[in-house]
Amino acid sequence: MKLTESTLREDPRIERLLKNPNWKPAAEAAMAFYFNGTDCPIASWQKSSTWAQVKMVLEELGKK
């Protein structure tokens, strides 16, 4: 199964990030980076726990 952005968005951990207005922009930027190669608009987001959580879930789902 190929991991898609919609699959990632359905994960409860990512849903939680996207529902929080403080975390949503960084989570969206991380998904755009990993799926489309889009540069992150705010460099500090790449060091945030939100970014790390998106990466962790991506890696976890990619192994399934």
User: What is the predicted pLDDT for the residue at 23?
Assistant: 97
User: What is the predicted pLDDT for the residue at 2?
Assistant: 74
- Specify the amino acid at residue 18: L
Burial of 19 (0-12, 13-18, 19+ CB in 10 A): exposed
User: What is the predicted pLDDT for the residue at 3?
Assistant: 85
The one-digit pLDDT tens for each residue of the chain (64 residues) are 578 899 999 999 999 999 999 999 999 999 999 999 999 999 999 999 999 999 999 999 987 6
User: What is the predicted pLDDT for the residue at 64?
Assistant: 62
Burial of 4 (0-12, 13-18, 19+ CB in 10 A): exposed
